[in-house]
Amino acid sequence: MPSRVLATAFVAAASAAIALALPAVLRAEVDPEHGRQLAYTCYGCHGIPNYKNVYPTYSVPKLAGQHAEYLTLALQGYRSGERSHATMHSHAASMSEQDMQDIAAFLVGQPLKPGALPMGNAPAKAAELCVACHGPDGVGITPQYPTLAGQHADYLERALRDYRDGGRKNPIMAAFVAGLTDADIRELAAYYAEQRPALTTAKHAMWFVEAEKPGK
Ligand code: HEC
Ligand code: HEC
């Protein structure tokens, strides 16, 4: 079967699965102000531009402008162990469902950095396998699909290898990266990292000053 047909079938199946999972994710009310307070502990890593994870070394992901529903799903993945990162597991394990949604609602309030699109030539594999969900410009086409545009290339590479090699067990992504070589992954990561409008590092300093305001 040509891979485009296969991809279309996967997209249909994945969309159906996600639609079923939706009611658990959506909540009537979210409280971004509560999220801002909780995000205090997160900014030690996510609020510092180009901050690195160590052993192995790669950039801590940018969160500002990411889809709120995706952020919640990602945190649930760390909590359940579907994603294997130990520090993020311990953070997520201590959070309630509401905490996750409140933090996500706070982070999503920070807009994508604007810019022209698309930048450069998309690798053939992107058109074949990725744009159906992540868009030609790397902006996820539904709130459950992450935006990749402007994300650190080394983080995108790390995530793609984890989907391929089992560090992340998401079944949708595992299917799409199974046949990718390290060179494919590097090329795709570099392409999406260059796209605009772009994710940014959540603004630590501004957030901190705001938190210090009397009455807040
Ligand atoms: C010690 C540094 C550190 C702290 C503190 C931290 N994180 Fe993370 N976070 C990371 C790293 C590193 C990753 C990438 C993990 C991986 O490879 O999956 C990550 C990944 C994430 C992701 C997934 C992003 C994506 O694009 O999929 C979310 C969401 C997230 N963190 C939210 C939080 C929140 C909310 C807090 C605070 C409660 C927090 N993090 C605290 C280092 C940290
Ligand atoms: C059927 C829709 C779909 C297709 C097609 C798809 N993805 Fe994804 N992608 C997702 C979903 C859903 C997630 C979130 C998975 C999770 O919870 O870990 C994701 C996550 C990712 C992440 C992790 C982002 C982060 O912030 O951690 C990267 C990188 C990624 N995809 C790149 C790609 C690339 C490159 C391709 C093509 C080879 C591709 N995806 C094809 C749906 C898709």
What's the total number of domains in the chain? 1
CA 195 – CA 119 distance, rounded (Å):
6
Confidence of residue 112 (pLDDT cuts 50, 70, 90): confident
User: 14 pLDDT exceeds 70?
Assistant: no
C-beta of residue 107 within 8 angstroms of C-beta of residue 66: yes
Whole-number Å distance between alpha carbons of 92 and 105? 16
Residue 189 has pLDDT above 60, yes or no: yes
The answer, yes or no, to whether residue 22 has pLDDT greater than 60, is no
Q: Judging by beta carbons within 10 Å of its beta carbon (0-12, 13-18, 19+), is residue 26 exposed, middle or buried?
A: exposed
Provide the CATH number for the domain around residue 118: 1.10.760.10
**How many whole angstroms separate alpha carbon 72 and alpha carbon 27?**
11
Classified as helix, coil or strand, 33 is helix
When pLDDT is cut at 50, 70 and 90, the band that residue 83 belongs to is very high
pLDDT bin (cut points 50, 70, 90) of residue 145 is: very high
Ligand nearest to the CA of 146: 2
CA distance 25 to 133: 19
Q: How far is the CA of 78 from the centre of ligand 1 (A)?
A: 9
Q: Which domain holds residue 104?
A: 3-10+30-212
Average pLDDT rounded to a whole number, residues 116-134:
87
Q: Give nearest CA residue, ligand 2 atom 43.
A: 133
Is residue 64 in contact with ligand 1, taking CB distance under 6 Å?
Answer: no
Does ligand 1 come within 6 angstroms of the Cβ of 169? Answer: no
Q: Mean pLDDT throughout 124-128? A: 91
Residue percentage of the chain with pLDDT more than 90: 63
C-alpha to C-alpha distance for 113 and 194, rounded to whole angstroms = 12
CB 130 near ligand 2, within 6 Å: yes
Residue 200 lies in a domain: yes
Identify whether 164 is part of a domain.
yes
The share of the chain scoring above pLDDT 70, in percent, equals 80
Q: Is residue 177 part of a domain?
A: yes
Amino acid at 165: D
User: Looking at residue 214, what is its pLDDT?
Assistant: 40
Q: How far is the CA of 133 from the centre of ligand 2 (A)?
A: 8
Q: Is 16 part of any domain?
A: no
Q: What is the pLDDT of residue 28?
A: 55
Number of other residues whose CB lies within 10 A of the CB of residue 130: 21
- State the pLDDT at residue 5: 45
Any ligand 1 atom below 6 A from CB of 45: yes
| CA-CA-CA-CA torsion sign (77, 50, 66, 154) | negative
CA of 216 to the centre of ligand 2 (A): 37
The pLDDT tens digits for 26-42 are 555 899 899 988 988 89
Residue 143 pLDDT level (bands cut at 50, 70, 90) = very high
Residue 123 tokens read as 């690798």
Average pLDDT, the chain: 84
140: nearest Cα among 150, 151, 128, 149: 149
Check if 88 has its Cβ closer than 6 Å to any atom of ligand 1: yes
Nearest bound ligand to the CA of residue 92? 1
Residues in the chain: 216
Q: How far is the CA of 158 from the centre of ligand 2 (A)?
A: 12
- Contact (CB, 8 A) for 104 and 69: yes
Does 138 reside within a domain? yes
Query: Confidence class of residue 208 from pLDDT cuts 50, 70 and 90?
Result: very low
Output the six-digit token pair for 216.
Answer: 């807040």
Helix 68-80, helix 86-93: angle, nearest 10: 100
Q: How confident is the model at residue 113 (pLDDT cuts 50, 70, 90)?
A: confident
